[in-house]
Amino acid sequence: MDINIFKFCSGLKVLGYFMILLVAAIVAVSYYAVVVVTWGPQLLRGGVHSFLAFSILVLFHVLLLLLTWSYFMVVIKDPGSVPENWRPVTEEENLEAGSSMMTSDHVVPDALPSTWSSSDGLERKPIGYCSHCQNRKPPRCHHCSICQRCVLKMDHHCVWVVNCVGACNYKFFLLFLLYTFLETTMDTLILLPTFIQVFREAKNHSSSPGNLAIIFLAFVLNLAFALSLLCFIIMHASLVSSNTTSVEVYEKKKAVRWRYDVGRKNNFEQFVDDNERNKSFRYSTKFLHKLKAGKT
């Protein structure tokens, strides 16, 4: 009996739903420690203390709303999928690497070109074929064993969002990293004075043990996430600046010149525009299907 081990990887999606609950729990702990225990009561003191507490709480809630919005955008947004039986009409359209491609009639995978050279003289990657999806796939497109589909310009599958990070939601993923880093860094700084007092108050038994435990847990969690997110932000900033994805890092090391690197400014503009260009890709695909069916 043939066993496809990749099908078992789809079970990892269940882990992702627990990760969403974990994110919600961390946010709840931080919210209780910052708003309810530490800075909320400061609003009643009046004067400078009230103004400082009000400013901190406003900034806290703004960052919380931004990271929540970006998080759910990554969770619910399609990272970019490949239509069935697609094929670029011309080679130049394929150079967009999964951004602005169109469909054509089905052809045998063996008839696909191996490599070609564009007008700039660089050798381009061939149109690939996914044996799992039984469909052709553009360059920079990879099959996710957890989602069981091919993803355009796939970066990685993130268990924290129960979704792949690809061409259409990579921007929201980086925004989520940035807003979460700012929020956790802010929480760490504003909880630091209270965290220092935790040991003194625990010794004198002047505060509720539950509140002391919440403050201690919130400070440690926010500090750990802030440090780890800083590393992720630096890594992904480097990837964006060179127009590379996480799965392409090893391939880039072997290349003399990375074929998709068009300069930092153009790389960043392409990163920002990827979502809109993939919308155009889907619309043009639907249009061609209707055109061939004689509906236009």
Q: What is the spatial distance between Cα 38 and Cα 78, in angstroms, rounded to a whole number?
A: 39
pTM for this prediction: 0.77
Q: How confident is the model at residue 84 (pLDDT cuts 50, 70, 90)?
A: confident
Residue 123: inside a domain: no
Mean pLDDT, rounded, for 158-175: 91
Average pLDDT over the chain, rounded to an integer: 77
Question: Looking at the 3D structure of the chain, how many domains does it have?
Answer: 1
Residue 118: inside a domain: no
pLDDT value of residue 102: 34
pLDDT value of residue 122: 45
Amino acid making up residue 42:
Q
Q: Containing domain of residue 142, as a range?
A: 5-84+128-278
> What secondary structure does DSSP assign to 119-164, as a single string?
TTSPEEPPPEEETTTTEEE-TT-EEETTTTEEETT--EEETTTTEE
pLDDT value of residue 179: 97
Q: What is the spatial distance between Cα 278 and Cα 228, in angstroms, rounded to a whole number?
A: 31
Residue with tokens 């069981």: 148
Residue 146: inside a domain: yes
Higher pLDDT, 28 or 10: 28
Mean pLDDT, rounded, for 75-96: 70
Among the residue ranges 105-109, 119-123, 125-129, the one predicted with the least confidence is 105-109
Q: Please state, in angstroms and as integers, the Cα–Cα distance from residue 238 to each residue in 61, 206, 231, following that order.
A: 29, 48, 11
Catalytically active residues, by annotation:
158
Higher pLDDT, 293 or 24: 24
Residue 237: inside a domain: yes
Task: Name the residue among 214, 195, 172 with its Cα closest to residue 30.
Answer: 214
Residue 89: inside a domain: no
Mean pLDDT, rounded, for 109-134: 55
Q: How confident is the model at residue 137 (pLDDT cuts 50, 70, 90)?
A: confident
